[in-house]
Structure 1
């Protein structure tokens, strides 16, 4: 997937495809600053999400930086920083 920016909609798609969603969680709402745990995503689901992002966008996310991205906005910013820096996987 050749993309210049990673968006909230891109993240929603990856979350739904990889881990689904808990009943009662509306990913279409204003979730940008909601903690992933409050959205029902635990560490295993987030690892799956990271793997899907890395494969789809050809980047390698730093594990420590990824672990500190606790909200969708923080993760989107992290992915976009990698995309703009050209940190692509060889």
Structure 2
């Protein structure tokens, strides 16, 4: 079975689902390098996003890696690196 790669669009969907409010943050467009703080996501929201990623992609994200998430690009890169290592 091929390992699914995470895309920025996948992360956007997870962010929207985790927020529970589609109006909470504007995450359309080029947000790869905008900090989560500037997008309106706090550390609690990132923990929820992390939990959803782990469930959906079957990967374990270390707690220290989670607290280091600054931008959407960081999350996608980490998940894809872990998925590539699991292949």
Normalised to the residue count of structure 1, the TM-score between the two structures is 0.85
Quote the residue 2:18 is aligned against.
Answer: 18
In structure 1, how many angstroms separate the alpha carbons of the residues matched to 2:79 and 2:56? 11
Establish whether residue 76 from structure 1 lines up as the match of residue 85 from structure 2: no
Higher relative contact order (CA 8 A, sep 6+): 2
Question: Do the aligned partners of residues 22 and 36 (structure 1) sit closer, same or farther apart at CA in structure 2, a change above 3 Å counting?
Answer: farther
Deviations 1:56-84 (A, max 9, x none): 00000011112112000011001101111
**5+ long unaligned stretches in structure 2:** none
- Runs of 4 or more above 6 Å deviation: none
Higher-helix-fraction structure: 2
Deviates more, 1:11-20 or 1:78-87: 78-87
Q: CA RMSD in A?
A: 1.8
Between Structure 1 and Structure 2, how many residues are aligned? 85
